[in-house]
Amino acid sequence: MQQFFEYSTEVREAMQAKKPVLALESTLITHGLPFPQNIETAMVVEQIARDHDVTPATIAIMQGKVKIGLSSSELETLVYDSQRVKASQRDIPYVLSMGLNAGTTVASTLFCAHHAGIKIFATGGIGGVHRGDDQDISADLIELSRTPLALVCAGAKAILDLSKTMELMETLSIPVVGYRTEYLPAFYSSTSPYSLPIKVDDLAALVKLLQAHWQLNLSAGMLIANPIPVEDEIPAEIIEPVISAALKKAEQQHIRGKAITPFLLNEVRLATQGQSLQTNIQLIKNNVKLGAELAKALGNLN
């Protein structure tokens, strides 16, 4: 497997020195955020990690290799490649064999980070169970159920069915931990009606919980739900009608599968005149900050 993996100099040196490394996904660059916010945010969140003495490892697939950490030129190539694709875990062999450039989803980033030996991953929001009756379920949850990473996020994307997503995570034995919250964050909003089974109030308690999880050799990862700061959120009563309208439009246009999430996020962005984009960027920064703090705290114990 390792013949497909290529590490940036920065990541390779950090791993050799046993310094903390934080995994970051790349679909926010290729499909999640528009230009130029995508490249600007990618650079900012990497710097947030470095400011905490943690090495960022943005993961992508490029020219037949799984890249663990991107150079600035590779990042630019990923941004400007009009033929880039979105790769979930199942797509990795095809993308590698065809030599394509791809942004990695949460699912594929989990897979790649785990096999690279990285234990902490920060993203915006995870996929889950989509609204409606067709049981459109993101591969993010399946991969998290069998990959023992700590995944820091702002809950599940608000475009999803949060209740069903929570139920499925329980079924898959994925522990969901609220960081300083008793309720599942809803991506753009800091809270939702759905209570969480576990709450921790500080980094030390989170580290202790993760260590116990890993020492038990449990197969699932741990979802760490980190609410967007209240001053940056869009309250649910404002964003929910916007999401409902976007879902109706997607249904009318028969948009399904991989295309649905980028379509909905773009529709919400347009309807909120860019406010949702700024909120999205702020929650990503907030999650990377916590992810870096966690990676550093765990690294100091080694």
Q: Is 26 annotated as a binding residue?
A: no
Q: Is 106 annotated as a binding residue?
A: yes
Task: Tell me if 266 sits within 8 A of 245, measured CB to CB.
Answer: no
Q: Is 230 annotated as a binding residue?
A: no
Q: Is 139 annotated as a binding residue?
A: yes
Quick one: CATH architecture of 2-299?
Answer: 3-Layer(aba) Sandwich (3.40)
Q: Report the predicted TM-score, pTM, of the whole model to 2 decimal places.
A: 0.94
pLDDT at 159: 87
Task: Tell me if 247 sits within 8 A of 241, measured CB to CB.
Answer: no
d(CA 70, CA 138): 26
Residue 256's pLDDT band, with cuts at 50, 70 and 90, is confident
Residues acting as catalytic residues:
25, 157
Percent of the chain with pLDDT over 70: 99
The tokens describing 97, both together, are 């064999």
d(CA 242, CA 270): 10
pLDDT at 135: 76
Q: Is 288 annotated as a binding residue?
A: no
Residue 302's pLDDT band, with cuts at 50, 70 and 90, is low
d(CA 19, CA 39): 26
The tokens describing 123, both together, are 């993203």
Per-domain residue ranges for the chain?
A: 2-299
The tokens describing 206, both together, are 């989170």
d(CA 214, CA 88): 25
pLDDT in tens, 97-111: 999 999 999 999 999
pLDDT at 148: 97
d(CA 240, CA 168): 22
Residue 284: which of 23, 72, 20, 28 has the closest Cα? 28
pLDDT in tens, 186-223: 999 999 999 999 999 999 999 999 999 999 999 999 99
In this structure, the chain runs to a length of 302
Q: Is 49 annotated as a binding residue?
A: no
Question: Count of CB atoms within 10 A of residue 178's CB?
Answer: 23
d(CA 73, CA 199): 41
